[in-house]
Amino acid sequence: MDAVNDIPRSRIIILLVAFILFSMAVGYRVFSFQIVHGLDLTEQAQQFRFREDVVPAERGDILDRRGRKLATNVPADRISVIVHQLDDPGDTARELAQIINRDEGEILEAISHPDREWVVLQRRLSPEASQQIKSLDMDGIVLDPEPRRTYPMGNFASQVLGFVNFDYEGSYGVEGAYHSLIAGEPGHLIGERDGAGNVIALGHSTWDPAQDGADLVLSIDSSVQRIVEEVLRETIEDMDAAGGTIIVQNPNTGAILGMASHPGYDPNEFNQVQDAQLFGNPAISNVYEPGSTMKALVMAIGLETGAVAADTVHPGGPYRELPGGERVYNATLMDFGPESMTEVLVHSSNVGAMYVAEQLGEDDLYRGLTAFGFGDQTGIDLSGEESGLFPLPGDPNWYLTNLYTNSFGQGMAVTPLQLINAISAVGNGGQLLTPYLVEEIRHPDGKVEQTEPEVIRDVISPETAQAVNQMMTTTVDSAQRVYGVPGYQIAAKTGTAQIPGIDGGYEPGATIGSIVGFGPSDDPQFSVIVKIDRPQESQWGERAAGPAFQEIFEELFLLYGIPPSDPDQVR
């Protein structure tokens, strides 16, 4: 009792006041959390406990016509962080940086933000990375399953396939054009979570299942695709060229069996591509002056309209003087003398082609070229297709000289697909077809949609088609051509086109060498176009593109078991 009395009264009062103030502060905090902020905190807790997740649908596979997977999905995880559960944000950032290949400081900043409860750090982790993260056994780290798109054959057919971006959206190629079909419909999961963010199995949850996407079967034959890619790569190297395109089409259906352009890219590493132009498909989006390959189609129009016949002979000469006084010469400045229409193609005579155009006149020539599809998209099932540059009489940029220069493929621009599709119409007997890449759509419910050949219109009669077929075959057979296939008959036409300059005119010495045709001549099964950009070893289409054309047909005949018409000639 005396000890208590010894404590100064003032100290007792101070302690009592301090206790009262402390009690009031605690009471205020309790009141603040439970009453003032209670609703907000309850809502935040509920949101965290019953977090809604979008569950991606299984994206459909893309297969070639032989059933080989060109694009598919592999298991992957998404890593997220529950910020307030981290023991040491710095240690977490340091450990994860090495695994998910992100900057340590960047991770630390993301998981240290005071207003964040939940942070997604990385999507589509590799299985190895997921296993490493699991082995860390760190609080606050959550792994959720999420699919990752993969292309098992790397850069194979990349500009045909396109890619799937980090938001799992299809971009370019088939992935972009058919995204809504192969992506499916995502599901939603509102699940009751434990403290680590995992769904409680017996807890209350709402599950709206995802609807998986359809599988696509392409008309692409991976064996043909491999041939054209390898031949194109070798030809570009041999010719010291800037790039090129090769297409193989079935002329009887419009199906694309192979389509390759160089340079390309690896869709697995699309985010590493520096030049976005590589994502486009030059076979459908790059236009060029076709040069003398156009002569075969102008000849077909001439025969169809009766403006000329196969045995019609024009007077010849080394040049033709146009109405404005300008002289246009044969490519080699040669005078072939009087020529039959077959010889016009054999000699690739500019003067002869201009003669046919003059006999046709404006109306028939441009009506015929338009019927073959020039100046319009082919309708292939890809996005990004160009319609070409094809001025018509009456357009502000059309002049009378176009009537003559268009006859040998100058003053107009086409895509490689437009040209091969037009030549396929000659090969199949006169029908212009819609080219396509997707042969089947296989829906998850088992329904299969099959693409049927679509005839756009008849452009020439079977008789005219056969006549031009024979003229083109004679062109290959004559003068020991370097692009014929021993033992087989092939119909083809070469082209050497100048490249327009930026300021008008043409770039000196710059050409595009090309060849287009079909075979076997007596029963065409394949149409092929080879286009080589800026070849340095030879500027001529026959030398720059011809050997590739020959090799592709040799490989096609072997692959599909097509017997030769003359077995004794097979080498």
Residue 37 has pLDDT above 60, yes or no: no
Residue 257 pLDDT greater than 70, yes or no: yes
Phi, psi dihedral angles at 471 (to 5 degrees): -65, -40
Q: Which amino acid makes up residue 485?
A: V
Q: How far is CA 559 from CA 180, 204, 224, 455, 563, in A?
A: 35, 59, 8, 28, 11
DSSP for 77-146, written as a single string: EEEEEEGGG-S-HHHHHHHHHHHHT--HHHHHHHH--TT-SEEEEEEEE-HHHHHHHHHH--TTEEEEE-
Query: 506 and 400, same structural domain?
Result: yes
Cβ–Cβ < 8 Å for 414, 373:
no
- Please state the rounded mean pLDDT for residues 283-308: 97
Q: How many CB atoms lie within 10 A of CB 91?
A: 13
Nearest to 384 by CA among 90, 160, 51: 160
Is residue 276, in this structure, part of any structural domain at all? no
Residue 419 near residue 290, CB atoms below 8 Å? yes
Helix%, strand%, coil% for the chain, nearest 5? 40, 25, 35
Task: Say how many CA atoms lie within 13 Å of 294 toward its Cβ.
Answer: 34
Residue 483 DSSP one-character state: T
pLDDT at 48 over 70: no
Average pLDDT, the chain: 87
Query: Are 193 and 309 in a shared domain?
Result: no
Average pLDDT, integer, range 20-27: 60
27 and 153 share one domain: no
Cα 73 to its chain centre, rounded Å, is: 19
Is residue 389 located within the same domain as residue 538? yes
Bigger pLDDT: 168 vs 523: 523
- Whether residue 170 is predicted with pLDDT greater than 70 in this model: the reply is yes
Clarify whether residues 161 and 103 are in a common domain: no
Residue 184 lies in a domain: yes
Q: Which residues contact 252 (CB under 8 A, 6 or more apart)?
A: 428, 453, 524, 525
Q: Tell me the two tokens of residue 217.
A: 């079967």
Burial category of 370 from C-beta neighbours within 10 Å (exposed 0-12, middle 13-18, buried 19 and up):
middle
CA distances from 510 to 39, 242, 414, 465 (A): 74, 11, 18, 33
Q: Where are the alpha helices (DSSP H) in 434-483?
A: 462-477
Query: Given pLDDT bands bounded at 50, 70 and 90, which one contains residue 7?
Result: low
Contacts of 457 (CB under 8 A, 6+ apart): 371, 431, 432
Query: What gap in Å lies between CA 295 and CA 357, rounded to an integer?
Result: 10
Residue 451 near residue 435 (C-beta atoms within 8 A): no
Four-CA torsion 81, 87, 89, 94, nearest 10 degrees: -100
One-letter amino acid for residue 543 of the chain: R
- 251 & 370 share domain: yes
Q: How far apart are CA 569 and CA 329, in angstroms?
A: 37
Is 164 among the domain residues? Answer: yes
Which residues, other chains included, contact 244 with Cβ-Cβ below 8 Å and sequence gap of 6+? Answer: 232, 235, 236, 261, 262, 530, 531, 532, 533
CATH code of the domain covering residue 161: 3.90.1310.10
**Mean pLDDT within 102-113:** 80
CA dist 177 and 182 (Å) reads 10
Higher-pLDDT residue of 92, 341: 341
- Output the pLDDT for position 161: 97
In a domain, 545, yes or no: yes
b (16+ CB within 10 A) / e for 205-225: eeeeebebbbbbbbbbbbbbb
Domain of residue 536, CATH code: 3.40.710.10
How confident is the model at residue 201, as a pLDDT?
46
Assigned domain for 271 exists? no
Asked if residues 519 and 473 have their Cβ atoms less than 8 Å apart, the reply is: no
Q: Report pLDDT digits (tens) over 403-462.
A: 999 999 999 999 999 999 999 999 999 999 999 999 999 999 999 999 999 999 999 999
Per-residue pLDDT tens digits for 132-149: 888 887 888 888 777 789
Same domain, residue pair 300 and 160: no
The pair of structure tokens assigned to 143 is 């792994």
Q: pLDDT band for position 55 (50/70/90)?
A: low
pTM of this prediction? 0.83
In the numeric block, which tokens belong to residue 358?
A: 């003059």
Dist. CA 195–CA 555, nearest whole Å: 63
In-domain check, residue 367: yes
Say how far apart CA 285 and CA 299 lie, in whole Å.
Answer: 27
Dihedral sign (CA 534, 537, 542, 546): negative
Model pLDDT, residue 3: 47
Q: Is the peptide bond before 391 cis (omega within 30 degrees of 0)?
A: no
How many residues belong to the chain?
Answer: 571
Instruction: Report strand pairing: 215-218 vs 62-63.
Output: parallel
69 and 123: one domain? no
pLDDT attached to residue 561: 96
Supply 50's token pair: 């019953």
The alpha carbon of residue 30 and the mean position of all alpha carbons in its chain are separated, in whole angstroms, by 62
List the domain range (segments joined by +) for residue 23: 2-36
* Domain match, 369 and 467 both: yes
Residue 195, H or E segment: none
**296, containing H or E segment:** helix 294-305
d(CA 382, CA 31): 64
**Two tokens at 393?**
């009489």
Q: Is residue 270 part of a domain?
A: no
> Which of 358, 385, 347 lies closest to 302 in space, CA to CA?
358
Greater pLDDT, 242 or 107: 242
Residue 458 CB-density burial (10 A; 0-12 exposed, 13-18 middle, 19+ buried): middle
256 and 295 fall within a common domain: yes
Among the listed residues 82, 75, 47, the one whose alpha carbon sits nearest the alpha carbon of residue 190? 47
Q: At what angle do helices 89-100 and 104-111 cross, to 10 degrees?
A: 130
Per the CB < 8 A criterion, the answer to whether 149 and 137 are in contact is no
pLDDT over 90 for what percent of the chain?
A: 63
Same domain, 82 and 68: no
Token look-up 């020959």 returns 550
Beta bridge partners of 320: 328
Average pLDDT over residues 94-115: 80
Amino acid sitting at position 468: V
Is 128 a residue whose pLDDT tops 90? Answer: no
What residues form DSSP beta bridges with 449?
441
pLDDT classification of 26: cutoffs 50, 70, 90: low
41 within domain boundaries = no
Instruction: Give the Cα separation of 25 and 22 in Å (integer).
Output: 5
Shared domain for 97 and 236, answered yes or no, is no
Query: How many structural domains compose the chain?
Result: 4
Does residue 520 have a cis peptide bond before it, meaning omega lies within 30 degrees of 0?
yes
